[in-house]
Structure 1
Amino acid sequence: MRKGTSVSTHVRHAYEQFLAGSAPADDAVRSMVRESWERSRSRGLNPGAVDPDSDADTPMSDTDFQEYRAVHRLATVRSLVHSLMLDDISDSGVVVAMADKHGRLLWVEGDRAARDAAARINFVEGSVWSEETVGTNAPGLALTVNRGVQIIGPEHFSGPVQKWNCAAAPVHDPTTGELLGVIDVTGGPAVAAPFALSAIRSVVAAVERELQSQAVDLAAPETFSPAATRRRLTVLADGAAQWHDGVSAPRPLSPRHAEIIVLLQSYREGLGTEQLATLLSDEGLGSVTVRAEISRLRRDLGDVVTSRPYRLIVELESDVADLRAMIAKGELTSAISMLGRGGLLAGSLAPGITELFDEIREDLRSRIFGTGNLTALRHWVDSPHGRDDITAWHHLAKQLPIGHPDRAVAEGRVRLLDRRFGA
């Protein structure tokens, strides 16, 4: 990135007037730039410094950042941006940046000299170049006004950035219209030319076409299959947990991956790294281990979990969810059969899974007692979970008529359990 050599004298004079508290003439600076200056000043930003790391609301460690950008939608089009821009301008002294919708720079690329120069104004990967953070700049302003913009030299709010020129345009999801981020080019005189913004817009158009082709692959047989979007997790049967993607054959999951998915389905609002670590182990499971497991899970199953916090981003069916629905609807005998021995829930040592298993069993047991369903009560005491439930045997004995042979069996079981457990 070379320092800009063309300085617009009238814009610089307008900027100095603005900082001095005077209103620049209407024709001295573009209204879009003036309005951005005013927003920047109203936020209390220092025009004499640039601090893209001051975004205290969204702190992110290096590990979190690497994980975050690896699964970002723009990661899927990074190679396209390379081929359209960097391959041709790799030695022209400019950098090309891709940022998320908050202005966080996901990638800053160019030759080493260009990136070193950009680093001197903290234009580096992971920094936040929103208008709110550093004032008027092309990527930040493009996100604010939601259209392509070009900022020349002294149009920047921050003085240290005024030796550079930049052009940027936002990228949208072609299907939903969601703002995904922005693509920016920053450099010297070449970036001040009118064609720079046109070039960026052309690249964005190509990127959005690529995103559209990824969203709808007409060649893929699963595209129009109703099952293609239905994913299902089964953990209650004996043996390994199974992942069903609606397209290929079910695949076994490791117990840890199954535990993570069960927990994330139970905590729809999401879980932080430390929260998830606590729910997975009471032996001080480290955050690094949790991140590694999430990374492996994504590698195996695809983009099903997002970060900050960790939460599911796909529609997921599961036998655990089905079981809870059966209990809520009073389908108690079916619920007892589905619970079986408990599968992963019964075998897991993860505190969060153990608590979940206890909740499900207590909900089911309480429903059985509350409804007085004799058939369900019989099924319960015959199940692995009710076999030693002295209260359930006592309820059964009370519900059966005097003289019924099963009442005598139930009363005998109460006496046995009383001696065995001292209840």
Structure 2
Amino acid sequence: MTTRRQFGDSWDHRLRARRRCEAPTLCVSADHFPRRSDVPRLSLALPHGVDPVTRWRVTARAHESFLSAEPGAGTDVRPLVLESWRRSAALHVDPDRAASPVPLVDDALAEARAAHPLRHVMPVVRKLLVEDAADTGVLVIVGDAEGRLLWAEGDDDLRRRAERMHLMAGSAWREDDIGTNAIGTALTLGETVQVFGSEHYARTVQPWSCTASPIRDPHTGALIGVLDITGGASVVEPQSAILVRSVVAVMESELRLVRPAAGAVPAATGRLEVLGRDRGLLVLGGKPVELSLRHTELLLLLSANPDGLSASELAWQLYEHDAAEVTVRAEMSRLRKAVPDLVSPAGRYRLRMQLRTDADDVTDRLADGDHCGAVQLYPGDLLPRSIAPGVVTMRYRLHGWLRNVLLQSGDAEALRRYARTASGREDVQIWRAVLDRLSPASPHRAEAAAVLADLDDNLGHVG
């Protein structure tokens, strides 16, 4: 049996080998790696100097206290783990569940592998990780964005033991499938996660440890999968996190060279209409869904923050006054029930697909200098009834950008179109600009002069 020391030495060897670029055809410079400056600092499961036996016992006691709902339970575990336990409990995951579900078998698994872009980089994974896994007592796992495992390779004995709890190709390892685990939690949070032994929510998984990192499409930034190493305590040592993140960087760099096949179906997208509307209209797969104002605000804020927002960040952008994070979580839970699979579960909330808004269309036209096109696509202010601070800021910025561009360089027709909208019909400065830029022979001059006179009589705005 491979000892902890031997495993650590082997992993150190792999790290040194990667630094020396012993496989030149697979090496890429750091400049080609996707930048990760926005990723929060990794929470290490076993920092240097921490005794794994002591850590396991302390965490196991905290786990039992948490399940027993004892006061103060969870104070002895990492915040990342405690939050995941809470999500697992809220999802009604059975801590005594013996195995995860297996949604992909036989032909379904083969089809999922053949259709997934990660198939192109599996030779890289095998070269950098799997070749040594058989000698070090490690499983190397690659899954899709839904937490379904597509490949599980490595130590044969370990694979046979892992299959008892369905840690194998075809199984599903999201948090709502089997609770806290590196694969599911990394997908939920969108960042590298280590889970050590008794930090797992399901007791059957607690003899294992794992380090997982999400994989993103280098062309779109969308989360497309996860890379995981599973084994004993050594797979959650600091150097394992470095190794996994480095291999993911190489995978993403290789994926950059892969172009979508001609006629390939594009990634799922949705559309959210928010301009001149009291509440949003969401269109998914051609089906319109009327949203409440609060749900519209949530989706709008998430669409503007593709890297996701925490409950506290959403609370700050949603409410004029202080609001508890639990209020945001409750609203998000209702949204996820109303529109399933659109938003990731609790943790750092993210959209699971690209969501384009009609406000995006206007900003694109403005950026291209197409003033008339921008006005044509602008029926009114963004969610005019919303008082959510984050939404109000977006509304003022878009309205201010459009208005200022028109006043500075917009032609008479673009100005006149804007003046007829709800945003411009009582804007004296806009109507003055319309009158100034219309030709002397224009039939619209009489209208502009009449509006200015009316504003003078009724609002006292014209001197």
Counterpart of 1:109 in structure 2 is 203
Mapped contact 1:103–1:139 kept (Cα < 8 A)? no
Counterpart of 1:93 in structure 2 is none
1:250 alignment partner, SS class: strand
Counterpart of 1:351 in structure 2 is 389
Q: 1:265 to 1:70 in 2, by over 3 A?
A: farther
**TM-superposed deviation, 1:184:** 8.4
**TM-superposed deviation, 1:273:** 1.2
- Describe the superposition over 1:229-275 as per-residue Cα deviations: whole angstroms up to 9, x where unpaired: 232222336575332222x6322222221211111111233222122
Note if 1:274 corresponds to 2:365.
Answer: no
Counterpart of 2:54 in structure 1 is 49
Mapped contact 2:182–2:211 kept (Cα < 8 A)? no
1:243 alignment partner, SS class: strand
Note if 1:31 corresponds to 2:6.
Answer: yes
Q: Distance in 2 between matches of 1:86 and 1:404?
A: 78
Note if 1:394 corresponds to 2:414.
Answer: no
Mapped contact 1:99–1:183 kept (Cα < 8 A)? no
Matches within 5 A, 1:120-159: 139-140=208-209, 143=211
Q: 1:234 to 1:28 in 2, by over 3 A?
A: closer
Counterpart of 2:368 in structure 1 is 329
Mapped contact 2:280–2:290 kept (Cα < 8 A)? yes
Counterpart of 1:410 in structure 2 is 448
**TM-superposed deviation, 1:42:** 8.2
Mapped contact 1:336–1:383 kept (Cα < 8 A)? no
One of 95, 101, 110 as aligned partner of 1:79: 101
Mapped contact 2:267–2:353 kept (Cα < 8 A)? no
1:317 alignment partner, SS class: strand
Say which is worse superposed, 96-105 or 350-359, in terms of deviation. 96-105
Q: Distance in 2 between matches of 1:381 and 1:232?
A: 27
Q: Distance in 2 between matches of 1:347 and 1:55?
A: 43
Amino acid at match of 2:274: V
Q: Distance in 2 between matches of 1:97 and 1:404?
A: 69
Mapped contact 2:274–2:281 kept (Cα < 8 A)? yes
Percent identity, aligned pairs only, is: 24
TM-score (norm 1): 0.55
**TM-superposed deviation, 1:59:** 6.3
CA RMSD of aligned residues (A): 4.5
Amino acid at match of 1:139: W
Q: Distance in 1 between matches of 2:347 and 2:300?
A: 18
2:194 alignment partner, SS class: coil
**TM-superposed deviation, 1:400:** 2.7
Amino acid at match of 1:259: E
Q: Distance in 1 between matches of 2:334 and 2:324?
A: 16
- Describe the superposition over 1:38-90 as per-residue Cα deviations: whole angstroms up to 9, x where unpaired: x999812246732557775746436753389789xxx9x82349x97469xxx
2:327 alignment partner, SS class: helix
**TM-superposed deviation, 1:394:** 1.5
Q: Distance in 2 between matches of 1:238 and 1:97?
A: 40
Counterpart of 1:61 in structure 2 is 83
Mapped contact 1:99–1:181 kept (Cα < 8 A)? no
1:316 alignment partner, SS class: strand
Note if 1:178 corresponds to 2:200.
Answer: no
Q: 1:239 to 1:98 in 2, by over 3 A?
A: closer
TM-score (norm 2): 0.51
Mapped contact 1:69–1:106 kept (Cα < 8 A)? no
- Describe the superposition over 1:312-361 as per-residue Cα deviations: whole angstroms up to 9, x where unpaired: 2312222222222122223333332332134x612323222222122111
**TM-superposed deviation, 1:291:** 0.6
Q: Distance in 2 between matches of 1:31 and 1:274?
A: 43
**TM-superposed deviation, 1:378:** 0.8
Q: 1:235 to 1:372 in 2, by over 3 A?
A: closer
> What number of residue pairs does the alignment pair up?
289
Q: Distance in 1 between matches of 2:268 and 2:336?
A: 17
Q: Distance in 1 between matches of 2:296 and 2:45?
A: 47
- Describe the superposition over 1:299-321 as per-residue Cα deviations: whole angstroms up to 9, x where unpaired: 23233323442222312222222
Amino acid at match of 1:99: N
Gaps of 5+ in 2: 13-43, 60-74, 104-161, 167-177, 184-192, 213-222, 234-262
Q: 1:84 to 1:42 in 2, by over 3 A?
A: closer
